[in-house]
A and B are shown apart, each in its own frame.
Chain A
Amino acid sequence: MKRLKRSWSLGLVMVTMLAAALSACGGGNNGNSASGGSASSSPSASPSAPASASGSPSASPASGGIANPRVAFVYIGPPGDGGWTYQHDQGRQYMEKELGIKADTVENVPESADAERIISDLAQNHDIIFTTSFGYMEWTLNAAKKFPNVKFEHAGGYKTNDNMATYFGKNWEASYLSGIAAGKMTKKNVLGYVAAFPIPELIYNINAFTLGAQSVNKDVKVNVVWTNTWFDPTTERNAAMSLLDKGADVLIAYQDSPASLQAAAEKGALAGGNDSDMTRYAPKAYLTNPIWNWGPYYVKKVKALMDGTWTNEQYLGSFQDGMVDIAPLGESIPEDVKKLVSDTKEKFLKGELNVFVGPIKDQGGAEKIASGQTLTDAEILEMNWFVQGVEGTIPK
């Protein structure tokens, strides 16, 4: 399993604050920073020297940066999955082009002890390593402790070290937008959601999608089925077919393959996928979906390493920096819906809109977010309940 599997600990909040405070204190010295925050892992953070002094394996100029950093990426799947890994690989290519650096990649790395071995191998002759799946968290942390002079960047996790940062994005805002499009386009007021694993990442995206749909269509219901797989086109297709059979006429599949979109196209329904723009799989049936754009972040962090300003921040991207975006709406979507979606995106960009603002009720009708209250990012990232209007259960 990858990406956010477990809820983020309260430590996250502390870590973020601590990191923010320390980064405010200024550049190079990041010793003793975020590693103590999360309760489950607190390596004794020995006050480490700035990156340059600790003797990086490649020639480091006196300024503290690395002129020609050697970059590596660890992928959970093949770049050809058309979704998650594809987008990371696009990000790598963008980084290579922007900075003129050639990066190494390792594909299909299992989330097991093998991952630590591969990451450690890479650490022996690289300066920065991006591990692009949630399940690599412990393995990346172990490698980070073994190789204090190498920088590690882990996607979607919550544990850091002096030399290990994390990055992810507020894709729930994009899910809210695809919810608006779906709520406008449904004729039967039945939406379907093909969901991978019952983890917070899925739950807050399903909730945001539902709230988006409800914002334009009060009567809409969202049916959820769990596939318990990130990538299995045939299972995803079966799940999508079950939703279509039940009467759903707009689907979203939070999965790595476009199988649900293709199933919807066959049945004359609309659908979106996840991670990347999936228009090419079924242009007529395509709705839209949240997409990831990792390139600018990769450029930023590699450049920071070159300049000697790298920090072990816990980065949460959004529409503002472009890490999260929404794919262009499909050709069957009318102009007024497109306009509504782009206007709403503007509101997110200006910071005028929040997805999880009370009053919001859960499935049972109990008020979970009081009127006027807004969830913090940390609260969103550990969400474990469905909003009213979602039909489905979260296995406990």
Chain B
Amino acid sequence: MDLITQLLVAALSSGTPLLFATLGGILIERSGIIQLGAEGLMLMGAVAACLTYLHTGSLALTLLAALAVGAALGLIHSALTVTLRANQIVSGLAMTLFGTGLSAYLGKSITGQPIPGAVPKIDLAFLEPVPVVGDLFAHLDLLTWLSFLLVIVLHLFIHRTSWGLHLRAIGDNPPTADVMGIPVQAFRYGCIVVGSMLIGLAGADLLLVYSPTWIEGMTAGRGWIAVALIIFARWNPLRAMFCAYFFGAMDTIGFKIQLIGSAIPSYFLKMIPYVVTILVLMFLGYRNRNKPSGSPEALGLPYIREQRF
């Protein structure tokens, strides 16, 4: 494999968990609710997946468990932020702290138990002769293909369906949406629960595909990167895909440069993903300076019918 293919493979494999989490976050934030609990949700998804896989050995049940845990935490977040109108930032941070602590506690008994080969790879050997991307797509696992599918589905849902239009209306202007007859509260509940399920799945993907052993705190900040990627992608699933892989590639490029034998200190190479992120944000910010940010207008504002805000 040449360098570009290696880089693409690395980008795809470390970008996929980020992609799941970013997609989930986009769905939630499009409905106007801030989502800062990704780190905790991913850890809970990962620990649930690990426990289930070690006890049942069934991939389907494992994924269901991660989705269910995500849904449960999503319900708590929505009850707090939608029904009780609690501060969304505080509730999100609480999700992170709660998930981090609880997952560490639940995972005590299974720490260090390996779970190799849980997710089947889909062998498409006939693709191999295709230059550059052939090797890339020939041996991907099931969850990576699922993430491709999700990007398309979510994009079509948000931008091409009437439900997606409702979603955008709720995120931008809940009173108007309410007047139109859209059930704002129920819609927000649905988005938070489904989005949280996707973030739980991100944790499962990280555990099952990327780093197949439960270790306390194994996300190591990737939930927060996903939160940043939502903004980076300007709440758009297609851009999220690009951003997640871009960040995944930047994550690994530092090591490639070290191995070429450059004299750049490794400390600087470690900054690459963050420096490049800032540069890209500056570039995009400049290019889009006269356009709307893409942020849902009512993001962070709780909605209660007939109340002014």
Contact = CB atoms under 8 A, between A and B. Distances in A.
Interface in B243-283: 251-252, 255-256, 258-259, 261, 263, 265-267, 270
Contacts of A281: 112, 114, 213
Interface stretch (B67-75, B179-187, B214-222, B300-308): B214-222
B113 interface: yes
Interface of A: 77-78, 80-82, 86, 198, 223, 225-226, 228, 231-235, 237-239, 241-243, 245-246, 257-259, 262, 265, 280-282, 391-393, 395-396
B211 A237 contact: yes
Contacts of B263: 393
Which of A198, A234, A265: most chain B Cβ within 10 A? A234
Interface in B106-148: 107-108, 111-114, 116
Interface of B: 1, 6, 10, 14, 104, 107-108, 111-114, 116, 206, 210-213, 215-218, 220, 222, 251-252, 255-256, 258-259, 261, 263, 265-267, 270
B255 to A, nearest CB: 4
Contact of B210 (A80, A226, A234, A392): A234
Contacts of A246: 259
B114 A234 contact: no
A191 B256 CA distance: 16
A239 B212 contact: no
Nearest to B218: A233
Contact of B259 (A81, A225, A234, A396): A225
Contact of A245 (B1, B213, B218): B1
Given A78-B104, A246-B259, A282 B114 contact: yes
A245 B9 CA distance: 11
Contact of A80 (B111, B211, B255): B111
Which of A233, A237, A393: most chain B Cβ within 10 A? A233
Smallest CB-CB A-B distances: 3 pairs: A80-B111, A395-B265, A242-B255
Contacts of A259: 211
B222 A234 contact: yes
21 contacts: A77-B216, A78-B104, A80-B107, A82-B111, A225-B259, A226-B258, A228-B267, A232-B220, A233-B213, A234-B220, A237-B14, A238-B10, A242-B252, A242-B256, A242-B258, A258-B213, A280-B113, A392-B258, A392-B261, A395-B265, A396-B265
